[in-house]
Structure 1
Amino acid sequence: MSTLVSEKVKTIKTLNNIAESGLKVLNQDQFTVDNNSENPDAIVVRSFNMHTFEFGNNLKAIARAGAGVNNIPVDQCTEQGIVVFNTPGANANAVKEMVLTSLMALSRNLFAGVAWTKTLDGEGEQVSKLVEAGKKKFVGKEIKGKTLGVIGLGAIGALVANDALDLDMDVIGFDPFISVDTAWNLSRNVQRAMSLEQLFAESDYITVHVPLTNDTKGMFNKNSFSIMKPGVYILNFSRGELVNEIDMAVALEDGIVGKYMTDFPNENVLKMKNTICTPHLGASTTESEENCAIMAARQVKEFLETGNIKNSVNFPNVSLPYTGKQRVAAFHQNVPNMVGQITSTVSSYHLNIADMVNRSRGEYAYTMIDIDDKINGDIIPGLVEKIRQIDGIVTARII
């Protein structure tokens, strides 16, 4: 059911510590950040689990300062007409640096070497001799000339692929859903894998950068391991559930997988042979947190002020240049004659339509209509209520 929106100062609530540089995007004349608000206009969140969170009837948007939205009940938000944003690409450089650092550290047995060297504490003058005698256990290999397979060529994957080329690696990539924007930014020297099986078979190292979906869950399993080169190194800085842990443990024991590095440790993974775990550090840089906060705040600000939507995971992305004219914004079921009913309702108030846009995403759609005439404040509640009463309307407001 739609709610009537009061266009006053908007209240923003944060559920995690959000970088101050992001909050500064929300000017104090139009927005107030109130973390005690029980019914904010929007929420900015990082990792807070919102699956048991109660949404107020005034909530219009949730912005995740990061890429993954597993901590947000997206389907519930869609049903209630709450737009959910994420910030793809804002943390891409941080993750890219982590992947490339880890790639070289794995190859040179740096992690094992550092751990062993620390055991020499207390050996006194023998440390130097022990180091020279023991270093042969940690002889590594160079990544130059080796083949890196990159699964997922979005913002992060494309950066990894391009920089790996600069390190004189051969790079093969697989992404059947690559966007035009990403394709423009991807080096032409990245070889295209026609299938995951081809990438698995040709790669000395594999790094994965895809979201967790029903199709990608457990994509690293005994079947995929059976195709890979013996001793392949696998890096997972996307989601732990992409890997079947039982099959990975067996592949590591048998030497099919030489090393596995993951940013998502749990009790099972910590027990695996030749596994290096980091505590979810992929995007944990000051710069990344600031970039994500700024991007999330800008998207919320744009939506609340103009109705425009960019980087939503549940609403269609929609943009209509904002000229200051009053705007009707409605989220509704994607069924025939919805736009006609909305425009007819607007016209019934003797209002002239200056411009409009309609975009759909699956079972839902979003319509914005700019009005030529200044809408009399007295009729706004009635107009919104009339639109709200149209069968299939989820939310409606006038900006």
Structure 2
Amino acid sequence: MYNVKLYNKISKVGLEELDAAKYTCAEDFEEYDAVLVRSAKLHDVQFPKNLKCIARAGAGVNNIPIDRCSEEGIVVFNTPGANANAVKELVVCALLLASRKVVQGANWVNSLAGTPDIGPAAEKGKATYAGPEIAGKKLGVIGLGAIGVKVANAAVGLDMEVWGYDPFLSVDGALSLSRSVKHVTDLDQIFANCDYITIHVPLNADTKHTISAEAIAKMKDGVRLINLARGELVDEQAVADALASGKIAAYVSDFASDCILAQKNAITLPHLGASTPESEDNCAKMAVYEITEYLEKGTIRNSVNFPNLKVPYEGGYRICLIHKNIPNMISSITHSVRCNIENMGNRSKGDYAYTIIDTAEQPTEENLNELRAIEGMISVRAL
């Protein structure tokens, strides 16, 4: 029986995918094999020694101590693409909100409550809230992952001229991307040419403040900017200054900050990007699938800290080994396995590697301890 600790509220649709004969879920476990989490911060959590994996029901993993998990042999999963449609729809909404002053107009009409002849009075003020159409305008999409590709394709359907930037565009992404999207290799081309810019990249040391004061200076006057990805991808003070000067005509963000809230042409949402029941269900189902595949078969899929690896499993004896990616490790492992090896798979990712070995006989605890003693070995688990 595996114990799964729940942080935040995890969709019931996803939890129902767990076999009750194999899994128990609770929020108050002290000893647990897996974690399902959404936004709870785990950096200060002391994990039990038997924790094997953490699955984040969402794409970003900034709330999880990745480096510590890697050193402790804890596989961290995310759910890329599970919330892509929800975010795409909100980006389409944000494009319109940034253009047509819908929120400002609605707020103004609400302020007229009790005004005699409110209908004509409201219509008289509509010129103040006029805004441009998005058809025919250039949209720059920074990041062509699962969300960015959907956004780009949707914008093509709205008759926008779409420019996309992603130096790491995957084969699947390229195949899914509309041929109408102009793929550029220089981010400055997006800044210099696009009327609207939306960003969809993960947050890391290289992407923090992608939208900086320097980047904004390269943009067209009156550019309209959207950030529904991560708050720190944007230098918010630089955006606030550009809104105040008129360099940026409008900014729609999913991340609140005082300097942005002070700007009249900014619209801030309460992190609604993936807040749909469909998205929460999809993320939970994918997260549950990831942990069950790993716990029961050793399969790693959508890990952010260890390599993906799947070796066909028909039951029997399997040894799963997480280790450092160092020379002669595979020979050390195979030399130390005291069973006939029937099947084997190995993949590496940066400083770490993962090996699956199927054996004809059940490995003894003594043999597993011998494997654990190999220099550079992080964890050894027998199924």
Q: What TM-score results when the alignment is normalised by the length of structure 1? A: 0.94
Q: Following TM superposition, by how much is the alpha carbon of 1:132 offset from its aligned partner in structure 2, in angstroms?
A: 2.2
Identity %: 49
Q: Match of 2:382, as an amino acid? A: I
Of the three residues 3, 8, 14, the one matched with 1:22 is 14
Look up the SS of the partner of 1:365 in the other structure. strand
Q: Match of 1:154, as an amino acid? A: G
CA contact (8 A) 1:100 1:164 kept: yes
> Counterpart of 2:350?
362
> Counterpart of 2:181?
190
CA contact (8 A) 2:340 2:361 kept: no
CA deviation map 1:127-176 (0-9, x unaligned): 12211210111111111101110000000000000011011110000000
1:288-307 correspondence runs (5 A): 288-307=279-298
> Counterpart of 1:49?
41
> Counterpart of 1:222?
213
Distance 1:123 1:272 in 2: 28
Asked if 1:275 is matched to 2:266, the reply is: yes
> Counterpart of 2:361?
374
CA contact (8 A) 1:12 1:42 kept: yes
Distance 2:161 2:11 in 1: 38
> Counterpart of 1:4?
none
Look up the SS of the partner of 2:252 in the other structure. strand
Q: Following TM superposition, by how much is the alpha carbon of 1:106 offset from its aligned partner in structure 2, in angstroms?
A: 2.0
Could you list the runs of 4 or more consecutive aligned residues of structure 1 that deviate by over 3 angstroms after TM superposition? none
Q: What TM-score results when the alignment is normalised by the length of structure 2? A: 0.98
Aligned residues: 383
CA deviation map 1:103-127 (0-9, x unaligned): 1122111011101000000113x21
Structure with greater contact order relative to length (CA < 8 Å, sep ≥ 6): 1
CA contact (8 A) 2:253 2:267 kept: yes
1:1-399 correspondence runs (5 A): 9-124=1-116, 126-346=117-337, 349=338, 351-371=339-359, 373-375=360-362, 380-399=364-383
Look up the SS of the partner of 2:125 in the other structure. helix
Distance 1:90 1:206 in 2: 23
Distance 1:100 1:56 in 2: 43
**Structure 1 residues not aligned, in runs of 5+:** 1-8
Distance 2:245 2:308 in 1: 47
Distance 1:133 1:268 in 2: 32
Q: Match of 2:155, as an amino acid? A: A
Distance 1:34 1:172 in 2: 46
Distance 1:161 1:77 in 2: 35
Look up the SS of the partner of 1:57 in the other structure. coil
**Structure 2 residues not aligned, in runs of 5+:** none
Distance 1:132 1:61 in 2: 57
